[in-house]
Structure 1
Amino acid sequence: MSELDRLRHAMRATERPDAMLDLATVMREGRRLRTRRRVAGAGAATLASGLAAVVVVVALGARPDDPPPTERPPPVAVAPPSAGVSPMMPDSTPPPTMASGEPPPKPLGQVIDSGVRHGTDQRVYYVVGVSVPGQPRVSIGLAAGRRAPDGRLTTDLLVNGVEGSDRSPGFHEIGYDERSSGEPVPTFGYFVGPAQRIIGTVDGRQVDARLARWSVDKQVVIFWFDPGKLTPGERLDGIIARDGSGRRL
């Protein structure tokens, strides 16, 4: 018999004129029922909070005209210079890959000079070929490296997608340098589309990225942040792109 049935049974005495109301039983069963309801209510509140969180995540991606910048940066996928990477859990972030003394991957198209210098070396970015098992539409990655005065390249970080298409419109992987040593790599990534301006947000502060188009495909916009405005390795809270008319992409 459930608590509700026992409560009803205790109160059924009121239906007979000659019966006495068992007040103690009614109060005891009533307390049990209220306790059960409180426990159920707490579980329902937890479920409601979880559903609210899902709605917020969906809204961020579904409202392109919201006040900028609110879009979350893409997840990071870091690969060795000569290979692709396997799919990761959404919340996992592997450590950056450093150069291991092997010859750097051959650039596809022109090497982009960022304007940042490390001694006599130039900080450069360039697109390279990658191969991800089972993902035929992922064939390029973006490398951050250094170019010596004699033209020799050293690759510091390489990021690439792990699923879908590497030419799909929008933001792709963003590279963060989380190393404790070596020459710091300014935060970088690429966007596919007619972007003329890319704006990142960190701690409520907006930071404009520097842009350059890939010589092989002008729809691929490579961007990086001035290390004097955004500390290498510091995570962005949001990032957006705008076209030449200021419209959010």
Structure 2
Amino acid sequence: MTDLEALRGVLAEPPPVEFSAVDLADVMRRGRRRRRLRRLSAAAATVVVLVGVVVGAQLLRTPGAPAVTTLAVTAAQPERRAAAPIGEVVGTKIEDPEGEVVLFFERAPAGPDSSPYQLVLGHRKGDGITAELATGSRSSAPGFHALTAGRPGRDLPLYGYYTGPATRITAEVGGLMYGAEAQHVEALAVTVFWFPRRDTTVLGGIVTLPMNAYSAAGDSLPK
């Protein structure tokens, strides 16, 4: 017997193990089940990613960010006279031909819900101080008071005071936050604030304005 005949004999022998017929229906059933599991796994992974993004965005937000409160902006009462300040005269470091723009309190008739003081805008030139814009009596309640528009092109575009320990004051316009300069007047337990002249175009002529006040720790304060 040749080697070729031996090889033919081996190939002609039946396999030692008989394989059962393939169940096509079962194969298709298992395939569908696996595809469903893969789709569910992918969907679950997507949900996890979205939840992570939302949670991350919440964590990145400013802690304790309050709902902004809209306050009315009033016009001051023009008057030019010698000033009679009570407590500290707050300098704004804004100069014009009349001198430095300043803010201070003077005595005023007391009402049922107000203490006998009013915020005044004036100028300081040399040793003299003039009173030019009075903003009404000071309220005794905590929060914003005397939110006042200055004269366009002069003075400050917006100023006022906050009764309480505010160290940061912001206003929101068009979805953007604008920070005010602020100085605490210890004798009256109030914080005087004003916005710089560079914000005149944004804040000039506004009659209502969303405002926020924050403590030194960054916590929101009552409006």
Tell me the TM-score range normalised by the shorter chain: 0.5 to 0.7
For the Cα contact (< 8 Å) 1:69–1:239, is it kept in 2?
A: no
- Corresponding residue for 1:156? 132
Does 2:86 match 1:108? yes
What is the correspondence of 1:1-249 to structure 2 with a 5 Å cutoff?
67-68=65-66, 70-74=68-72, 76=74, 95-100=75-80, 102-104=81-83, 106-119=84-97, 121-132=99-110, 134-135=111-112, 137-149=114-126, 151-161=127-137, 166-177=139-150, 179=151, 183-217=154-188, 219-231=189-201, 233-235=204-206, 237-249=209-221
For the Cα contact (< 8 Å) 1:194–1:243, is it kept in 2?
A: yes
Question: Residue type matched to 1:125 in 2?
Answer: L
- Separation in 2 of the partners of 1:127 and 1:115? 18
Q: Decide which structure has greater helix share.
A: 2
- Separation in 2 of the partners of 1:207 and 1:189? 15
CA-to-aligned-CA distance 1:3-34 (integer Å, 9 cap, x gap): xxxxxxxxxxxxxxxxxxxxxxxxxxxxxxxx
- Separation in 2 of the partners of 1:129 and 1:186? 24
RMSD across aligned positions (CA):
2.6
TM-score by length of 1: 0.56
Q: CA deviation at 1:168?
A: 1.2
Question: Residue type matched to 1:130 in 2?
Answer: A
- Separation in 1 of the partners of 2:118 and 2:64? 30
Runs of 5+ unmatched residues, structure 1: 1-64, 77-94
Q: CA deviation at 1:160?
A: 2.0
DSSP-derived class of the 1:245 partner:
coil
Cα 1:136–1:167 change in 2 (3 A) is closer
Cα 1:148–1:68 change in 2 (3 A) is same
- Separation in 2 of the partners of 1:180 and 1:72? 22
DSSP-derived class of the 2:197 partner:
coil
DSSP-derived class of the 1:135 partner:
coil
User: What is the number of equivalent residue pairs in this alignment?
Assistant: 157
Max radius of gyration: which structure? 2
Q: CA deviation at 1:67?
A: 4.8
TM-score by length of 2: 0.62
Q: Decide which structure has greater strand share.
A: 2
DSSP-derived class of the 1:228 partner:
helix
Q: CA deviation at 1:194?
A: 1.7
- Separation in 1 of the partners of 2:95 and 2:104? 16
Q: CA deviation at 1:230?
A: 3.8
Runs of 5+ unmatched residues, structure 2: 1-62
DSSP-derived class of the 2:115 partner:
coil
